[in-house]
């Protein structure tokens, strides 16, 4: 697999995350709460990973690696908990824009860790992504009014937690098989999420009333696909590029809101989606050209040019 294929895995994982909000909205119309569906997502996602790990990857993981991966799982749960708190206090458009600050935070983390200034293509990409996020999130053209500062802090913490998750996911447990790695991270994350949001749905009959369907779908799209694909792709592309690719979550969320939740999307939001895709593509195009240049030089040298 070359780098572009690993980038595609992260792109798919990000889009998978983006679909979750629309599925939850449909579930809410049937009477289920966000807390119940979030809990179901982790329970069923954990079970799916457990089954796959037992079937295809029974490799033993050492105690140090196990603890390190559990620590990574804490950053996963931080995103869910902080974002949930932000949504309670802020308009959804503002909360999602705050969450998507993970793009530049992720690039900054990589730059500090590697002691290397981000490339010009990454910096241009970040600027375009921020502008696109403002449009796609529906912030431009709307009055936001007075913002709850605690909600703003929660939103920024969710962005930091998500950027940190992508950063450590690409650097911790890289020798551990992706299924095992995903399982241990989800285990720690699920324990924390179920501690914050009550797991009462497991015994009060809510699962049998239909929550299991949403839990299974959310577990597949919100845990199995993104966590597994991020575990495979992040070590190969780096957290900076991974954060940029992760911005695909917002366009996927907007498209899903039209197809699944049947919501209206303004022309400015579609413009924002286009800008986000342009921002995502810039580093990938630059990488492709860098790959082609040496190959062309080699051909010219071989031909005696």
User: pLDDT by residue (tens digit) across 93-117?
Assistant: 677 788 888 888 888 888 888 888 8
- pLDDT over 50 at 168, yes or no: yes
Which DSSP category does 222 fall into?
A: I
The CA-atom distances, in angstroms, between 116 and each of 103, 109, 177, 222 are 17, 10, 29, 33
Kindly state the average pLDDT of the residues 236-252.
Answer: 83
* Other CB atoms within 10 A of residue 37 CB: 25
The owner of tokens 């924002």 is: 272
pLDDT (mean) for 29-51: 90
Residue whose tokens read 């993970």: 102
pLDDT (0 to 100) of residue 213: 92
Structure tokens at 80: 């869910």
Q: How much is the pLDDT for 215? A: 92
169-226 confidence digits (pLDDT tens): 888 878 888 899 999 999 999 999 888 877 888 888 888 898 999 999 999 998 999 9
pLDDT on residue 144: 54
> Is the four-CA dihedral 261, 255, 264, 85 of positive or negative sign?
positive
Per-residue pLDDT, 300: 41
What is the pLDDT at residue 104?
Answer: 87
207: left (phi over 0), alpha (psi -120 to 50) or beta: alpha
CB 100 within 8 A of CB 155: no
Mean pLDDT calculated for residue range 141-155: 73
Contact 179/57 with Cβ under 8 angstroms? Answer: yes
Mean pLDDT, all residues of the chain? 82
Give the model's pLDDT for residue 93. 67
Q: What is the DSSP letter of 304?
A: T
Does residue 293 surpass a pLDDT of 60? no
Average pLDDT rounded to a whole number, residues 283-293: 58
Cβ pair 17, 162 in contact under 8 A: no
pTM of the model: 0.81
What's the chain's Rg over C-alpha atoms?
20
Instruction: Return the pLDDT at 90.
Output: 76
Measured distance CA(48)–CA(28) in Å, rounded:
24
pLDDT bin (cut points 50, 70, 90) of residue 287 is: low
């Amino acid at each position: 697999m070359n780098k572009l294929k690993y980038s595609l895995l992260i792109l798919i994982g990000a889009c998978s995350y983006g679909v979750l909000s629309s599925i939850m909205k449909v579930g809410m119309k049937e009477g289920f709460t966000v807390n119940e569906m979030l809990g179901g997502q982790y329970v069923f996602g954990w079970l799916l990973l457990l089954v796959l790990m037992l079937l295809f990857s029974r490799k033993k993981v050492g105690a140090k690696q196990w603890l390190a991966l559990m620590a990574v799982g804490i950053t996963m749960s931080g995103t869910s908990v902080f974002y949930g708190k932000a949504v309670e206090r802020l308009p959804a458009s503002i909360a999602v824009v705050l969450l998507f600050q993970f793009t530049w935070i992720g690039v900054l983390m990589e730059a500090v860790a590697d002691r290397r200034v981000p490339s010009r293509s990454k910096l241009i990409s970040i600027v375009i992504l921020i502008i696109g996020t403002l449009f796609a999130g529906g912030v431009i053209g709307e009055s936001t009014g007075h913002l709850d500062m605690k909600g703003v802090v929660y939103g920024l913490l969710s962005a930091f937690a998500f950027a940190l998750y992508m950063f450590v996911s690409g650097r911790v447990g890289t020798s551990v098989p992706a299924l095992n790695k995903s399982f241990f991270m989800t285990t720690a994350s699920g324990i924390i999420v179920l501690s914050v949001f009550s797991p009462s749905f497991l015994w009060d009959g809510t699962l049998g009333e239909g929550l299991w369907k949403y839990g299974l779908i959310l577990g597949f799209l919100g845990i199995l696909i993104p966590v597994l694909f991020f575990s495979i792709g992040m070590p190969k592309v780096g957290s900076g590029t991974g954060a940029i690719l992760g911005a695909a979550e917002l366009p996927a969320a907007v498209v899903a809101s039209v197809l699944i939740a049947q919501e209206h999307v303004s022309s400015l939001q579609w413009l924002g989606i286009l800008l986000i895709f342009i921002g995502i593509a810039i580093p990938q195009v630059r990488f492709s050209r860098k790959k082609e240049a040496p190959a062309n030089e080699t051909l010219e040298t071989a031909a005696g040019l």
